[in-house]
Structure 1
Amino acid sequence: MITVRAANARGTANFGWLYSRHTFSFGRYYDPEFMGVSALRVINDDTVAPSAGFDTHGHRDMEIISFVTQGEIHHKDSYGHEMRLPAGEFQLMSAGSGIQHSEFNASSHDALKFLQIWIEPNQRGTTPSYQQKKFNQTSWLTEVITPDGRNDTLQIKQDAVVSRVVLAADAQQSQPIDAQRSYYLQLIRGELQLDGTRLSAGDGAAVTGQSQVQFSAISDVEALWFDLP
């Protein structure tokens, strides 16, 4: 079964310096019908004004993924990491027993756009950690985050895999999946059909109870694919 989360139906937050679309309930936006999918709890599509950002704040017991689609994040945390995260790179911060961090738009001229993703861990109270990497797209579906860090992927504290999807217009791919697990597709750019269901940039789709799924690109496509417990 495929359940679509349309881009224009997402929750909205507008603070002037930040404009965000919330796929699931977050902050002041609450919808009991959209609380997450399995361990996936947050997908925020954030646009941050030049030189603005999130002041120092804390997290604990959450796996926090950032993927920049435009611009660059200046990240600083209480464990001594001060990093720049440019477009195309993945960041995974395991908050564990507690971490403080800030995130700012590194540009004084251009907007920053990124996806902020939270996945609940299957371990609590662990030592916080920070990982960051740019991945070469080795196939149309490239793993970037895995539970065991295989093939030099970022290692997450959950039985979950995050992959980046890149398809050229008119490409078609069939992907076997486990009918006992949950899956979620977040479309970043382009248009595609997922088992005949048409999706546009910003749309998401939950997939459950299936043994395979068909990706058919209408235009050039970039997306994130979540394989969840």
Structure 2
Amino acid sequence: MESDQAGTPAETDAGNAVRRSREPAFNLPPGLTGILLFLVAIHALRTYVLSAELDQELILNFAFLPVRYTIPLGEQGLVWLWTPVTYSFLHVSWEHLVFNIFWMVAFGAPVVRRIGLARLAAFWCLSAAAAVALHVVFHWGEMAVVVGASGVVSGFMGAAVRFVFSPSGRISRQFAHLNRRLSVTETLTNRSALVFTGIWFLTNFLVGLGLFSLGGAGSVAWEAHIGGFLFGFFLFGLFDPKR
């Protein structure tokens, strides 16, 4: 039976709240879903389609190599220009990729819901570049290849810390993106944010000491993680829409 009678505003709000509360736990923003599928497609192409020679050529042209910046830029084409971003789309193994996807779903989803697709593109590129910028400071001139979205994932984590632990009373993961963004001072005095950040830095320092690795990626560019996190933490306000 149908009815033409409209509900009161309070009833409508309550109904909307119920419908929102029933959203699936992994209802990812379309932009993030597209990126994850793109990462999977790239790794599948490298693993199952490209020959070893072509894959090596792809790595040479799209992975990040610190040594590249010791060579006069005019002698190497424009590869140096895009590799600080394109390295983030390549991964060492399926385990490495799945590990990054897991954390991207956890921390990237609220950030993407908050900033939208256009800002996401800028955030991804700049956080990837910031990550390897710090990495190259510690590994200037090295031949070691850097690949993986871990620096961007760390950027998402740094950004998320600024609002997911907001004292606004919103504790649902689905609605964390609606929280007020905390100032740097507020974040550093928020117990939950401080504990999370402390554990995160401790884990990365232990990785740097070689006590364990993350995601089966072999040698971990932990300095890049720090660079990405600091970028997201301190510069997230540049991407956060005014509310």
What TM-score does the superposition give when structure 1 sets the normalisation length? Answer: 0.26
Q: Which has the higher helix share?
A: 2
Structure 2-normalised TM-score? 0.25
Using CA pairs below 8 Å that are at least 6 residues apart, which structure has the higher relative contact order? 2
The structure with the larger Rg is 2
Q: Which is richer in strand?
A: 1
